[in-house]
Structure 1
Amino acid sequence: MLSTFFSTSKPIHYLMVFIMVVIAIISAQWWNVNITWWELSGVLILSASLAVFEFVVSKNDITPSSSYALWVTAVLSLLYLTFNVTLSPIIALFFIMLALRRLLSLKTDHSTIKKIFDATFWIAIATIFYHWSALFYLVVYVAIFLYARNDFRHWVTPLIAMGCVWFLLFTYDYVWENQVVNTLMDSYQITYLWSNDFIESQQVILLILVAIAVLGLLIYLSKLIDIQQSVRPRFTIITFTGLCAMTIAILDFDSFASGGFLLLIAALGILIARLAHSVNHRVFVELLLWFPILLLISSFLLR
Structure 2
Amino acid sequence: MITSIFNKSKPINFTIVFFITLLAFITLNVKYVKAPITGSFFLTQSFLFFVCFFSILVLSFIVGKNSLTQRSNYEIVLYSLFLLALPQTLSNPDIIYANFFVLLGYRRIISLRSQTNVKKKLFDAAFWLAIAALFYFWSILFFVLIIVTLVLYTDNNIRHWLIPFSGLLTVFLITISISIICYDSYFEIFNSLPEVSYNFSNYNSLQYVVIITMLFSFGSWASIFYIKNIKQKKKAFRPSYYVVLFAVILGFLIIVFAPNKNGSEFLFLFSPLAIIMANYIEIVQEKWFKELFLLVIIIVPFVILLL
TM class by smaller structure = 0.7 to 0.9
CA displacement at 1:192 relative to structure 2: 6.0
| Counterpart residue number, 2:171 | 165
Superposition map of 1:37-116 within 5 A: 37=42, 38-39=44-45, 41-79=47-85, 81-82=87-88, 85-116=91-122
Asked if 1:232 is matched to 2:238, the reply is yes
Check 1:222–1:65 CA distance in 2 against 1; reply closer, same or farther (3 A cut). closer
Give per-residue Cα distances to partners, 1:242-289, cap 9 Å, x unaligned: 11001112333x545442211111112112211111112222222222
| Counterpart residue number, 1:189 | 196
Q: Which amino acid aligns with 1:200?
A: S
Q: Which amino acid aligns with 1:189?
A: V
* Residue in structure 1 matching 2:297, options 287, 292, 295: 292
Measure, in 1, the Cα distance between the counterparts of 2:176 and 2:143: 20
Decide which moves more: 85-94 or 172-181.
172-181
Q: Which amino acid aligns with 1:161?
A: G
Measure, in 2, the Cα distance between the counterparts of 1:198 and 1:105: 36
Superposition map of 1:23-34 within 5 A: 23-28=23-28, 31=31, 33-34=33-34
Decide which moves more: 48-57 or 275-284.
275-284
CA contact 1:148–1:154 (8 Å) conserved in 2: no
Measure, in 2, the Cα distance between the counterparts of 1:30 and 1:279: 38
Asked if 1:142 is matched to 2:148, the reply is yes
Q: TM-score, normalised by structure 2?
A: 0.86
Check 1:224–1:255 CA distance in 2 against 1; reply closer, same or farther (3 A cut). farther
Q: Tell me, what secondary structure is at the counterpart of 2:207?
A: coil
Q: Which amino acid aligns with 1:134?
A: I
Give per-residue Cα distances to partners, 1:176-215, cap 9 Å, x unaligned: 2265465422x4223265xx49723332223542444444
Measure, in 1, the Cα distance between the counterparts of 2:216 and 2:45: 25
Q: Which amino acid aligns with 1:17?
A: V
Measure, in 2, the Cα distance between the counterparts of 1:26 and 1:257: 18
Q: Note the aligned Cα RMSD (angstroms).
A: 2.6
Asked if 1:245 is matched to 2:251, the reply is yes
Structure 1 alignment gaps of length 5 or more: none
| Counterpart residue number, 2:206 | 201
Give per-residue Cα distances to partners, 1:158-181, cap 9 Å, x unaligned: 110000111112222222226546
Number of residue equivalences:
298
Q: Tell me, what secondary structure is at the counterpart of 1:133?
A: helix
Check 1:270–1:108 CA distance in 2 against 1; reply closer, same or farther (3 A cut). same
Give per-residue Cα distances to partners, 1:46-71, cap 9 Å, x unaligned: 11101110011111111112111121
Measure, in 2, the Cα distance between the counterparts of 1:89 and 1:74: 16
Measure, in 2, the Cα distance between the counterparts of 1:180 and 1:209: 38
Asked if 1:277 is matched to 2:285, the reply is no
Q: TM-score, normalised by structure 1?
A: 0.87
CA contact 1:272–1:288 (8 Å) conserved in 2: no
Q: Which amino acid aligns with 1:15?
A: T
Check 1:197–1:82 CA distance in 2 against 1; reply closer, same or farther (3 A cut). closer
Measure, in 2, the Cα distance between the counterparts of 1:86 and 1:40: 14
Instruction: Determine what percentage of the aligned residue pairs are the same residue.
Output: 26
